[in-house]
Structure 1
Amino acid sequence: MKKIIVLLFLLIIFYGELHYVDLRQFQSESKQVEVKGEVKKPGIYEVAIHASVEEILTLAGGCTKEGDTSNLNLTLDIENHGVIVVGKHQAPKLISINSASLEELDELKGVGPSIAQRIIDYRNQQPFKTLEELKNVKGIGDRMFEKIKGQITL
């Protein structure tokens, strides 16, 4: 048993040297990122290893007129072989005050279920001919109308 311990001890002494390897030599200085969607020059770009989404979009010529970056984190350091997809601006869904359900009217900013029901009661007596007629509904004044006029249609 003593011979085995001595042998292991000698092996550790002679073969136990550590060799440090500098891993930086294996680290790339650049990365490849694909850019798709509403950009002027879609494609694959080779960029600096810590390039942000904003820097990469600049290389791609920026967004087209329809491009929407509101859902992108422009400061993100995207990984190697990552993909950036720039979507289109979405037109807001307009809600018809003459045919919308109570639930749809309730989605309007500042309009709750009770005001939504008043809108339905008003239009059941006579349909709205102009958007401004909505101010005739109790609870909808000038301020409320200004908040929701971009979200409604006849």
Structure 2
Amino acid sequence: MFAPNRMLTTKEQWLFVGLTVAIITGCATLYFHDGINAKTNENAAVIIPVRQPAITTADTEDVSTSAPSVAVSASTQPPAPSPAETPEQQPTSIGVAVMGAVTHPGFYIVEKDLRVTDLIAIAGGATDHADLSDILLTAPLIDETTLTIPEMPLVKRDEKQVAMRRRGTSVVYNPPGYRRSAPLFSPAPPQQGAPHISSPEEAMASPGTTAPGGLINVNHATAEQLQSLPGIGPVFAERIIEERSRQPFMSVEELTRVPGIAEKRLEAIRPFVTAP
């Protein structure tokens, strides 16, 4: 029998120690094993396989016919504008020339919104002898035109008399829009029975007409009617017709454009003619 008070032998003591260590090791192993399994279950993703139904050929055809088409046909695209429909780009510059009493006469390409005074400034300004009395400085520039600045008459004084001599550019022709003295008129309705003149060529071909009051219109008169004027022969009549075919006369003063017609000859025929 086992005696409770007897001392354990060395063998029994080692056996007891080994049994105790085994029990402790087993408990520790179970504890850590359960903890690791719990964490693994929490972090593990549950994957549930989904079984896809088989799609037959008939189903595929139904899906393809019922699904809306996302392709855009070429006919739905907006048509590209044709060159004829594309708005033309308005030019931003014009070409004008300035001559006469300016520092740098010549041809200039300028912005289309400039005025006569701007063109004179671009040309270096007017000279000391420039006559700007009849120049409309605020007039807008006109494409393909020439602005001519006249010079003041040259005055010579001596003990007995004062003489005035015109310079080379004292008598010039400028477009009506550049002149202060240009007549502002609207075309009068044609008189009953009077021929309608729409071009210089028609003016030359049409028979000459006499303005009310017996005045001869230099834009419509025939060569015979022009020769009836004092100091106007066949040569001057032909020159007048050639000049008006190039540019109709806007006033009687513009007859000085005709070579050979100066102030003296103009004063002689002024009471008998009219223009335009």
TM-score, scaled to structure 2:
0.25
Q: Which structure shows the higher strand fraction?
A: 1
* Greater C-alpha radius of gyration: 2
Higher relative contact order (CA 8 A, sep 6+): 1
TM-score (norm 1): 0.44
